[in-house]
């Protein structure tokens, strides 16, 4: 059994609800979908017991009704990446913070707040990222239904 499969088996034993939600796409890439309320325990276990100590990034996904959030973490030396996906309804897009486990998640969490309108529960107060301070609070550019507004400058750039 490969390392990837062993990791999968161990995670299924610990979290039976994730059975059938795994996908090993190729060597060193494990993808899994977990229920949103299980995320913290899942990441904590992966970090403490399976040594997924490298935090890579958080990716937000606009999936119509739902907001998908992908957490990419990796093991040192083996290079195995665990890509953990949760889904929350856009009507109540609350995800927990993982900054207590990975301090480097601070900016990526602010990013999904700004660009996808997620609410990160437990994130310490701080300046927004990456949009400017005067950007409207209810506009989230990476949502599929957001279109840039024509401004005087953009019209001039297009039409001369």
The sign one gets for the Cα dihedral 13, 14, 17, 20 is negative
- Shortest Å distance, C-beta 16 to other proteins: 25
Report the SS3 class of residue 30: strand
Question: What is the rounded distance in angstroms from the CA atom of residue 104 to the CA atom of residue 99?
Answer: 7
Report the SS3 class of residue 44: helix
Q: Which two tokens stand for residue 116?
A: 């996808």
- Shortest Å distance, C-beta 13 to other proteins: 25
Question: What is the rounded distance in angstroms from the CA atom of residue 32 to the CA atom of residue 83?
Answer: 6
* Choice between 12 and 142, CB closer to other proteins: 142
- Shortest Å distance, C-beta 103 to other proteins: 6
Binding site residues, other proteins, CB under 8 A: 25-26, 28-29, 31, 53-57, 59-62, 70, 72, 74, 76-79, 81, 83, 102-104, 106-108, 115, 126-132, 141-142, 144, 148
* Choice between 14 and 66, CB closer to other proteins: 66
């Amino acid at each position: 059994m490969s390392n990837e499969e062993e990791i999968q088996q161990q995670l299924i034993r610990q979290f039976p609800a994730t059975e059938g939600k795994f996908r090993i796409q190729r060597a060193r890439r494990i993808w899994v979908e977990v229920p949103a309320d299980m995320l913290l325990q899942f990441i904590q276990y992966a970090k403490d017991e399976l040594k997924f100590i490298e935090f890579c990034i958080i990716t937000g996904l606009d999936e119509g009704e739902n907001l998908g959030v992908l957490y990419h973490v990796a093991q040192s030396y083996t290079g195995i990446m665990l890509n953990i996906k949760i889904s929350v309804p856009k009507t109540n897009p609350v995800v927990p913070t993982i900054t207590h486990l990975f301090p480097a998640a601070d900016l990526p969490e602010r990013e999904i707040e700004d660009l996808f309108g997620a609410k990160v529960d437990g994130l310490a107060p701080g300046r927004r990222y990456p949009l400017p301070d005067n950007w409207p609070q209810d506009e989230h550019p990476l949502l599929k239904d957001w279109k840039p507004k024509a401004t005087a400058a953009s019209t001039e750039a297009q039409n001369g």
